[in-house]
Amino acid sequence: MVNWAIEALFKADVTELMLVTGGTHAGEFFRLLGNGHEHGIHRLFYAYQDKPGGIAEALGLAERFGRGGRIVVMLADNVVEQSLVPAVENFRAQERGGRILLAKLDEPEHLRHLGVAELDGDRVTRIVEKPADPPSEYAVTGIYFYDEQVWDVLPTLEPSGRGELEITDVNNWYVGQGQMEYDVLEGFWGDAGESIEAYYEVNDFVRANGANKEWSKASS
């Protein structure tokens, strides 16, 4: 599954990566990916999260890799049909702040299990986790863009009720500053880590339709 995430980033000209992993199978990633050159990655670094501490904690492990610059975070179980190029280019043109990728979902029941964004024009005004009454049809995917402010935000986070540092708190900091923008993904988006059913749905889709399709300005 991680291959699809790496391919998505590589095709969007993101070629310096840090893979944060944990658990007992971390060595499998090293054996699979090596130094990343076979996958088009110029430089590939690794970090180990010794216990489940949340996505924001995992991002903090990449501080030495990313401090002083901008960073894109992609959860490796997220799969997209279309290219990330437009979102990456939009973020590079963005003066400051963060950017999230949204997926429009038609099923309210599905939205109730995800983070959902409330929108006002090109700004995100609120992100609600697992809302009983979703404020929009737009789910927050596991693809986030942050400017250098993120490295100052992370140390201010407090663990949530489940004892983890939540990436939603990072996103809502940017929302509170009026600095969170967004793109809506075209085509299919799947979170293979959401459930067993989602895992098979993602794999079936990729098998039938592919992922990370090539992008050109003529097709946008």
Give per-residue pLDDT as tens, 80-104: 999 999 999 999 999 999 999 999 9
Q: Which two tokens stand for residue 135?
A: 């404020």
What is the average per-residue pLDDT within 152-176? 96
Per-residue pLDDT reduced to its tens digit, 29-72: 989 999 999 888 999 999 999 998 999 999 999 999 999 899 99
Concatenated DSSP letters of the chain: -HHHHHHHHHHTT--EEEEEEEGGGHHHHHHHHTTSGGGT-SEEEEEEESS---HHHHHHTTHHHHTTS-EEEE-TTEEESS-SHHHHHHHHH--SSEEEEEEE-S-HHHHTTSEEEEEETTEEEEEEES-SS-SSSEEEEEEEEE-TTHHHHGGG----TTS---HHHHHHHHHHTT-EEEEEPPS-EEETTS-HHHHHHHHHHHHHH-SS----GGG-
Domain coordinates in residue numbering, the chain:
2-219
What per-residue confidence (pLDDT) applies to 220?
52
What per-residue confidence (pLDDT) applies to 216?
66
CA atoms within 13 A on the CB side of 87: 30
Q: How many other C-beta atoms lie within 10 A of the C-beta of residue 156?
A: 9
Q: What are phi and psi of 90, to 5 degrees?
A: -65, -40
What is the average per-residue pLDDT within 179-187? 95
Q: How many other C-beta atoms lie within 10 A of the C-beta of residue 142?
A: 22
Per-residue pLDDT reduced to its tens digit, 112-146: 989 999 998 888 999 999 999 999 999 999 999 99
What percent of the chain is modeled with pLDDT above 90? Answer: 77
Nearest-10 Cα torsion for 204, 145, 17, 45: -110
Decide if domain 2-219 falls under CATH 3.90.550.10: yes
Q: What is the pTM of this model?
A: 0.93
